[in-house]
Structure 1
Amino acid sequence: MASSSSSFSLLFPFFLILFSCFIAVSSSRRSLIDRPLPKNLPRSGFRLSLRHVDSGKNLTKIQKIQRGINRGFHRLNRLGAVAVLAVASNPDDTNNIKAPTHGGSGEFLMELSIGNPAVKYAAIVDTGSDLIWTQCKPCTECFDQPTPIFDPEKSSSYSKVGCSSGLCNALPRSNCNEDKDSCEYLYTYGDYSSTRGLLATETFTFEDENSISGIGFGCGVENEGDGFSQGSGLVGLGRGPLSLISQLKETKFSYCLTSIEDSEASSSLFIGSLASGIVNKTGANLDGEVTKTMSLLRNPDQPSFYYLELQGITVGAKRLSVEKSTFELSEDGTGGMIIDSGTTITYLEETAFKVLKEEFTSRMSLPVDDSGSTGLDLCFKLPNAAKNIAVPKLIFHFKGADLELPGENYMVADSSTGVLCLAMGSSNGMSIFGNVQQQNFNVLHDLEKETVTFVPTECGKL
């Protein structure tokens, strides 16, 4: 009979991965089928390095954990919010519509260059957004960013988007200046941050060698809020038509996130056929039962999110007594579970988390620590002597696959405070499968098959 617990070594304590791809959710439900592909696309796809927003800072591991949790908390609140935006730009028009939520903060950055001549920027990567944007001159209201603000007048490849273009029509709400034939956009985030400017096309260069022209992006001249200050803008990887994935008309991408303990190695993002090629190559060397593929769901009210169909959870040898409907996506678009690269830990609907917390507590042989020193909901006091600690197994039962996580993907040890914590929390609505639980998996999104595949991978060695 298989063991119902995993060994967790205190000689090699594990810490939270702080992955986050800056999140903003596309509100658009239209397609860009009338728009040609951008030029100079790499045939086999391409690879991008991802850098954590706290890398290079003089922070202890527990400080990094707490910063990630704080960012995740605000992100969680924004994801659960429902934004109400004006239908028209006319201030006298009081008609309102329900709009998808835009997150507004992030954890991982990618390096890219914009324009001709190319100017380098670090942008937040966001699997929950369909808009690519950066701050632009002349900037009437902009936040501080680590690089100079982009000046479109100095780029020979910059071109404004016309009112009748497919890109402009793909915006959730646009305001066209017909005299200048320019398409204006406004994206408002759940924390009241926002970006406003002109939609345009430009040449984007990735990893100094993949130069792609004709990419649609927002040139923001009025940008408010502090959620973007980690970078100089955002690159959306969501389902919506304005995301990088959609504009390239790619159906596959994957990311492989290293542990926070691996301070030297970069995480990776793969786009196009290269994504599936890496997954197939890695998976071929593993037992077929180790590679897990599960179904994706769509939510018309939140069209950019990648929803998973969670059907249950097992702790140790016990499947939790939680109604399947607890994790279901409701007809009104609320609830459900998304897989999110931008939230640090996993959050479960509060009634389900309460049951999971009780089961974990009953199966651990350590006393509970109530000091609240880490910001996590459930921690245990460690013994003074270093030794292996048995922790209950944790299995997520998704439609299509049962995903058993390694101990380091849900337990966090901190020797300085002498605690061992569960890297999960509660949510009052939507559940989120966070990036700690995804570390050292190559996570492939196949938008043609509507699946997500998890392949155990040493991400720092890719």
Structure 2
Amino acid sequence: MASPFPSSSSSSLFTLVALFVLLFLVHPSSSTSRSRALIRSPIRLNLHHVDSAKNLTKLERLQHGIKRGEARLQRFNSMILAASSSSSSSSIPQSSDQLEAPVYAGRGAYLLTLSIGTPPKSYPAVLDTGSDLIWTQCKPCSQCYNQPTPIFDPKYSSSFSKLSCSSNLCSALPSSSCHKNTCNYLYSYGDYSFTKGFLASETFTFGEDKKDQASVKNIGFGCGEDNEGDGLDQASGLVGLGRGPLSLVSQLEEPKFSYCLTSMDESATSTLFLGSFPHVKGSKELLTTPLLQNPALSSFYYLPLEGISVGETRLDIDKSVFYIKEDGSGGVIIDSGTTISYLEQEAYEALKNEFISQTNLPVYVSDSTGLDLCFALPSDSSSQAKFPSKLVFHFTGADLELPTQNFMVADSSSNVACLAMGASSGLSILGNIQQQNVLVNYDVQMQTVSFDPTQCDAL
């Protein structure tokens, strides 16, 4: 009769099988680890400014950006007000057919191209570090705006599936409704732009060069069947890179991403890196500062700004001006979608007065530029214009020093030079003009952002 206990040979075999199973659980298969390929090497994506294809001067591009930025600032403030109001009142559970529309930023300044589905279809999308939801227009559209590529049709993708009302991403929506166990959403962008549809899951492919592409399964996104795209007609939708669970960064479970923005008047493309930070040849020590959290607006990237210097003069600004207030107002965010920087009124007035003091030109008084502070350039070529040599943002642990081209914009046709900054009420924003030719590295896990001044078109 056979022994009920394994022999030594079968025991060894049992041990090997158990060890193999353990190794398999610890080290995922290649098909699973493919979605984590971004951790080992960054995926490079080209970014195009929304006005890059238009025949505009730098000042005209700036004016277009200011219009977008002012509307964006208003929406940020609306979000803060709404968050403050909701936190001070008790929440009322929604019925299954109730759907409200929280207001988000949207309408960023840069476009990227990615592919959706199996087989993959390429689409342009707006990049937005000020929101979370990823979405694209989907067929059949009850109402869709004109976009430059064919609208995504789920029925031609073998990897498409709808997300149920019990899914984690559906629970992460600030507002949702349920119909036939499908999670529905409505996002409004405050300027009569919105997207309405349902959440779905798809395979997303990143990278324009096939040998360097990475495909990631099961990315949750909004399939928009009713969309109004004021200012979004160059894109099929939007990719949110915020800190919330719906964003691309969170879904990739990849805590690092970077971008490097070229000057807005250049034809050179800017770059987005998903994954480990790119190496910059000849780079000095990174300027690293902690990211702050605002419980009222957890998706935004807040920076600890302690002061500002113009030239060699440190402005007399109490650093509490830049604090996040108890009601969620105030603070300083870094944003890729806002063109010029906005400072709280008190800080901006101190900055403006110091610029006037250090500039040897008369102030140009006119509303034609769209900027608050401009100077009349000398008509005599022998006269030399003198502007502050630098502008320094003093963050906790990092002094970001900007050259003149990152804060002064000259226009030869109107013979003026303007400060590319403005005033705000409460919230301050570090805009993309001030970020140009700076590699900006975000580490969501370590809760830091670092700055590496470099020539972005040489990366």
Give the TM-score category using the shorter length.
Answer: 0.7 to 0.9
| Alignment map for 1:40-439 (pairs within 5 Å) | 40-42=35-37, 43-82=40-79, 83=82, 89-90=94-95, 101-177=103-179, 180-208=180-208, 209-263=213-267, 265-273=268-276, 276=277, 278=278, 281-282=279-280, 285-288=282-285, 291-386=286-381, 389-392=385-388, 393-439=390-436
**1:290-332 residue CA offsets vs partner (Å, 9 max, x unmatched):** x311111011111110000111111233222222221110011
Kindly provide the amino acid, as one letter, of the partner of residue 181 in structure 1: N
Structure 2, gaps ≥5 residues long? 1-30
Kindly provide the amino acid, as one letter, of the partner of residue 62 in structure 2: I
**1:408-435 residue CA offsets vs partner (Å, 9 max, x unmatched):** 1001111111011111001112100000
In 1, Cα distance between equivalents of 2:139 and 2:356: 55
3-state DSSP of counterpart to 1:110: strand
3-state DSSP of counterpart to 2:370: coil
In 2, Cα distance between equivalents of 1:262 and 1:40: 34
In 2, Cα distance between equivalents of 1:109 and 1:185: 23
Following superposition, the deviation at residue 76 of structure 1 comes to: 1.1
Structure in which a larger fraction of residues adopt helix: 2
In 1, Cα distance between equivalents of 2:92 and 2:146: 31
- From the superposition, tell whether residues 159 and 403 of structure 1 become closer, same or farther in structure 2 (CA, over 3 Å): same
- From the superposition, tell whether residues 300 and 108 of structure 1 become closer, same or farther in structure 2 (CA, over 3 Å): same
In 1, Cα distance between equivalents of 2:325 and 2:102: 15
**1:109-160 residue CA offsets vs partner (Å, 9 max, x unmatched):** 0011111222211000011111100011121122222222211112111111
- From the superposition, tell whether residues 388 and 47 of structure 1 become closer, same or farther in structure 2 (CA, over 3 Å): farther
Task: Quote the residue 1:18 is aligned against.
Answer: none
3-state DSSP of counterpart to 1:389: coil
| Greater RCO, CA 8 A, separation 6+ | 1
Following superposition, the deviation at residue 189 of structure 1 comes to: 2.5
Following superposition, the deviation at residue 173 of structure 1 comes to: 2.3
Kindly provide the amino acid, as one letter, of the partner of residue 206 in structure 1: F
Q: Structure 1 length normalisation: TM-score?
A: 0.84
- From the superposition, tell whether residues 78 and 155 of structure 1 become closer, same or farther in structure 2 (CA, over 3 Å): same
Kindly provide the amino acid, as one letter, of the partner of residue 274 in structure 2: I
Following superposition, the deviation at residue 174 of structure 1 comes to: 2.2
Structure in which a larger fraction of residues adopt strand: 1
**1:68-91 residue CA offsets vs partner (Å, 9 max, x unmatched):** 111111111111113478955549
In 2, Cα distance between equivalents of 1:332 and 1:51: 36
Of residues 361-370 and 180-189 in structure 1, the stretch that sits farther from structure 2 once superposed is: 180-189
- Would the aligned equivalents of 1:197 and 1:220 in 2 still touch at CA under 8 Å? yes
Task: Quote the residue 2:18 is aligned against.
Answer: none
Following superposition, the deviation at residue 41 of structure 1 comes to: 3.8
In 1, Cα distance between equivalents of 2:44 and 2:275: 9
Q: Structure 2 length normalisation: TM-score?
A: 0.85
3-state DSSP of counterpart to 2:387: strand
- Would the aligned equivalents of 1:104 and 1:227 in 2 still touch at CA under 8 Å? no
- From the superposition, tell whether residues 107 and 205 of structure 1 become closer, same or farther in structure 2 (CA, over 3 Å): same
Q: Which structure has the larger Rg?
A: 2
Following superposition, the deviation at residue 39 of structure 1 comes to: 5.3
Structure 1, gaps ≥5 residues long? 1-35
- Would the aligned equivalents of 1:311 and 1:399 in 2 still touch at CA under 8 Å? yes
Count of residues paired in the alignment = 413
Following superposition, the deviation at residue 193 of structure 1 comes to: 2.7
- From the superposition, tell whether residues 388 and 155 of structure 1 become closer, same or farther in structure 2 (CA, over 3 Å): farther
Kindly provide the amino acid, as one letter, of the partner of residue 365 in structure 1: N
In 2, Cα distance between equivalents of 1:349 and 1:194: 29
- Would the aligned equivalents of 1:255 and 1:267 in 2 still touch at CA under 8 Å? yes
What is the aligned-residue RMSD (CA, Å)?
A: 2.3
- Would the aligned equivalents of 2:192 and 2:230 in 1 still touch at CA under 8 Å? no
In 1, Cα distance between equivalents of 2:171 and 2:237: 22
In 2, Cα distance between equivalents of 1:37 and 1:185: 29
- From the superposition, tell whether residues 38 and 245 of structure 1 become closer, same or farther in structure 2 (CA, over 3 Å): farther
What percentage of aligned pairs have identical amino acids?
58
In 1, Cα distance between equivalents of 2:333 and 2:46: 24
3-state DSSP of counterpart to 1:73: helix
